Chain A
Amino acid sequence: MHLMYFTEQPMSAYDADEGRRYGATALTFSNRHFDPVAGSRLYNQYLEDYIYAEECGADGIMLNEHHNAPFCMQAKTNIFASILAAVTKRVKIVLLGNPLPLAENPIRLAEELAMIDMISKGRLVSGFVRGGGQEQLATGVNPAYNRERFEEAHDLVVKTWTQPGPFRWEGTHYQHRVVNPWAVPLQKPYPRVWIPGVLSKETILWSARHRYPYVALNTTIEATKNIWNIYSQQAREVGYEAGPENFGYLIRVHVQDSEEKALQNARQFMWMQGEFTGLAHPVWANPSGYFSPSGRRGFVEFAVGRAVNPRGAPTFEQQIADTQIIAGTPDTVIERLKTLIEHTRPGIMAFWGNDGKVSAEDTRTCIRLLCQEVMPAIREHGKKLGLNSPFEADAPVSIEYSKDLRQRAAAAE
C-alpha cells in the first residue's frame, strides 16, 4: 500500500461567529477576516508538519488547492509541491490535484510539474481534478465547459510531456502556436496521474478508460464499492482487470494517546459548520453546466430547498458510526482501518489527519502516531490482503503504456 498524510491546511484563525453572521463561509465570505500574520504562522507550521510526516515514515504527502474559503489555505498546489520537492528527500509528492479547467495555459502547468518532478528527483504524482463549482466562480472560469476543458487540458499536458516539441495545438478551448517547453518530467513516460473524486460517474469512467487510479474522497463504504464496480466494469470493457493498484481512498482519521482526546479533536473535522467546504449556497457548488445533466432535476430541487442534499449532511456521530471519520488511540484506529480496507481494498490510502483548530502540538502527536504506529500496521495488513500500490504492482502509467490489454470481446469475435 501507498500511505499518505493529508490536511486541508485550514485557515482556522478567523472568527467563526463572523461566518455564522454572514451565513456563508465560502466564495463571498470576505477575506478581510483573513489575518496574514496568522496565515504566515500556519503556512510555516503546515510545512514543518509535512517534513515531520516524512521523518515519521509516511510514503507520501497529499496536497490539494481551493480558493476563496478558510477551509483550505492552499491557493496553488504547485507552490507547496515545489517547496516539498526541495526540502523532503523520500516521500512522494502527490497532488490531488491541479484543477485543469482553471488553467488558461496548460503548457505552463506542464512546465511547472516537470520542474517539480526534476527538483524532487522523480517523486511527483500529478493528479488532476475538475475543481469544485466554487473554484470556477472564484477564478472566473466557465463552469459550462468544465469537463471539456478538463479533458482537453489533460491531453495537452500529456502530449507536452511525452512528445518532443515544437508542435502546434489547435484545440477547442486551447490554442498554442509553439509548444516546446524547456522543462520535461524526469519520470518516464510521465509522472503517475491519480484522479480524486466524490460523485461524478463521468470522472470514474474517464479514469478507468485512462487506467488512472481513482481516489475516492471519504465516500461511505457502500458508495466506495459502487465506485469500484463502475470503474472495474469500464476497465474490463477497455481490456484490463482493475485491482487494488487502481483504487485509492481518503479517510479522515485522527489519532491521540487517549480515546477521549482523539474524539474531542476529531470533532474539528466538522469545524466548517458541518460541511468541510463550509456554508455555501448550493448554486455555488454546482453552477449551471458544471453538474452532470443526469443529476439536474435532483439538484435544482435541492438548490431551492425542496430536496435534501444529494451528498447528505450526516452528523459527527453518524460519520463515526459509518467509518467516514475514525478517531482513537493507535490500537482502536488500526482495528477500524483494517476492517475498512478489508471492505474497500485500496492500494493507495490518504489519511486526512488534522483539521480546524487542532493545536500544533496535538497535530504533531497525531502525525507521529499515524506514521509510526498506524501506517506500519496497515501496510503489513495490506500486504496480507494483497493490496499493492501502483508502485508495488509496477502498474503502467496509463492505458497507452499498457502491455497486457486483452482484445475487446467484440473485436475478437
Chain B
Amino acid sequence: MPSTVAWADTTITLAGVKTHLSRAGNGPVLLVLHHDIGTPERLSFYDLLAERFTVLVPHYPGWGRSERPTWMRSVRDLAAIHQWLLAELGAADVSLVGLGFGGWVAAEIASLAPRDFRRLVLAAPMGIKPPEGDILDQAIISYVAYPQAGFHDQENFRRVFGEVSTDQLEAWDIAREMSFRIAWKPYMYSQTLPHLLGGVRARALIVWGDDDKIVPLSAAEAYRRALPDGARLEIVPGCGHFIDMEKPEALARLVADFVTAD
C-alpha cells in the first residue's frame, strides 16, 4: 500500500558531517535508529509510527545519504552524534527505537544520558556479547546473504528489497565498511555497555523475533540483566532479525502501546 504519510527530508550538519534526516508525523517524538545495513528510504513500519508520533529517521553519518565521518571510531561516537542531533532539534521527552545494530546505538545513547528519555525500545539489539552463540559475521558472507539471513521468510526479503539493484549492493558495501570502521573488534558488541546500562531511568521494552539468525536470543537475557528491573521481553513469532521489515504491524503496535502507556 503506498504511503499517505508526508515525509520531509532535511540535511543537518552534526560534528562537521552533513547528516540526512527524514521526519514525519505529530505527537511524542520517536528517534528511530536503523540497522547496520542502513535503511530503505521509506518503510511501512515508519509510516505506521508516524500516524501517532513525530518520527525521526536519520541516516547514520557514513550510511545512506549521510556523509562519511572518517574520524569516527566507535558506536559510542555514533551515540554522541545523535545526542547532538536531538539538541539541535530541541527535542524533548524523546523515546528511542533501536533496530538491531540501532538497538546498540540506542542503548549507548541511553547509557550516556540516563535521565533523558521517555522510553527505550530495543528490537533485537546488538551491543552485548550473547551468552550463547555469536552475532552473525557479515564479513565472510555476501551482501545479499547477510540481509537474507535477517528474515524468517524470504518472501518478506523480496517484498522489501525486490530484485536487488546495484545501487542497493553498493549501499550495503558502504554500510558494511562503516560497520567495520566502528564495530570490527570486538565484532558488534561493547565489553563495557552491560556495566553502564543500570542507571537508565527510561523503561525499556526488548523485542525479539523467534527466528533471529543474526543476533542470538540469548542476548535478550543479557540486556534484561544489564537494564534496571522491569525491562519487558516480547517475542514476535515467525520473525527474523529485521522485525521492522518482517512484521511491521506487530512491532509498530508494541512500540505504540509501550510508548503511550502510563
Interface residues, chain A, with chain B CB atoms under 8 Å away: 27-28, 137, 140, 142-145, 281-284, 287-289, 296-297, 299-301, 303-304, 306
Contacts and interface: CB of A to CB of B under 8 A. Distances in A.
A287 B139 CA distance: 7
A137 B176 CA distance: 14
Interface in B133-161: 139-144
Contacts of A143: 139, 180
Interface stretch (B19-27, B40-48, B165-173): B165-173
Contacts of B142: 281-283, 303-304
A300 B166 contact: yes
24 contacts: A27-B140, A137-B140, A140-B185, A142-B181, A143-B139, A144-B177, A144-B180, A145-B181, A281-B140, A281-B141, A287-B139, A287-B180, A288-B173, A288-B174, A288-B176, A289-B176, A289-B181, A297-B166, A300-B143, A301-B169, A303-B142, A304-B142, A304-B144, A306-B166
Contacts of B172: 300
A282 B143 CA distance: 11
A304 B169 contact: yes
B169 A142 contact: no
B169 A300 contact: yes
Contacts of B181: 142, 144-145, 289
A17 B185 CA distance: 35
B117 interface: no
B169 A137 contact: no
Contacts of B258: none
A300 B185 contact: no
A297 B170 CA distance: 6
Nearest to A28: B140
Closest 4 CB pairs of A and B: A289-B177, A288-B176, A288-B177, A300-B169
Interface residues of B, number: 19
The SS class assigned to the B binding surface is: helix
B170 A289 contact: no
B170 A142 contact: no
Nearest to B182: A144
Interface of B: 139-144, 164, 166, 169-170, 172-174, 176-177, 180-181, 184-185
B179 to A, nearest CB: 8
A304 B170 CA distance: 11
A146 to B, nearest CB: 10
Nearest to A140: B185
Contacts of B141: 281, 283
Contacts of A289: 176-177, 180-181
Contact of B185 (A27, A142, A301): A142
B48 to A, nearest CB: 31
Contact of A300 (B140, B173, B180, B184): B173
A14 B219 CA distance: 40
A282 B173 CA distance: 13
Contact of A303 (B143, B174, B180): B143
Contacts of B140: 27-28, 137, 281, 283-284
Residue from B141, B174, B177 whose CB has the most chain A CB atoms within 10 Å: B177
A303 B170 CA distance: 11
Nearest to B166: A301
A296 B185 contact: no
B218 to A, nearest CB: 23
Contacts of A284: 140
Contacts of B164: 304
A282 B177 CA distance: 15
B170 A296 contact: yes
Contacts of B184: 142, 144
Given A140-B185, A144-B184, A304 B177 contact: no
Nearest to A306: B166
B114 to A, nearest CB: 31
A133 B181 CA distance: 15
Contacts of A299: 173
A140 B184 CA distance: 9
A144 B164 CA distance: 24
A212 B67 CA distance: 35
A296 B164 CA distance: 16
A225 to B, nearest CB: 31
Contacts of A304: 142-144, 164, 169
A284 B137 CA distance: 12
A140 B185 CA distance: 8
B186 to A, nearest CB: 10
A392 B205 CA distance: 73
A133 to B, nearest CB: 10
